[in-house]
Amino acid sequence: MIDAIQERLLELGTRGVDYELGGFGWFQGWSDTARKPDWVEDEYEENMVDFMKDVRVAFNEFALPFILAGPGMRGFQDKKGGKGAICEAQKRATERPEFIESTAYVESRHFASK
């Protein structure tokens, strides 16, 4: 993913486009619970934290804002486990002290069809 984004940014540079990264949007997690790997519920929050830190390092943007949109396709049906656990882990990651002023979790479960 990082390589693909960097390639596109390099293309912009060759066209004389002056750009600045304004933030990073992330909407993912559905397939993580669909496969039900053992690590999902226990490690997702920590993995999300590591991901945000790694992206910031890769782009040399140490305060790059992140917006995480929870994968709420099934609404609030999965309160314990599954997709609900992913949404809650993403939210907790954005609430950590090192991210509190530069990240936001956006709740998408309100928009799920019933």
Query: What residues have CB less than 8 Å from 55, skipping those under 6 apart?
Result: 2, 24, 64, 66
Strand, helix or coil at 106? strand
**More confidently predicted of 34 and 85:** 85
DSSP-assigned letter for residue 110: G
Predicted pLDDT at 95:
96
- pLDDT, tens only, 43-69: 889 999 999 999 999 999 999 999 998
Predicted pLDDT at 44:
86
Sequence spans of domains, the chain: 22-111
Predicted pLDDT at 79:
59
Strand, helix or coil at 41? helix
Predicted pLDDT at 43:
84
Q: Is the pLDDT reported for residue 25 higher than 80?
A: yes
* Whole-number Å distance between alpha carbons of 83 and 31: 9
Query: What residues have CB less than 8 Å from 56, skipping those under 6 apart?
Result: 62, 63, 64
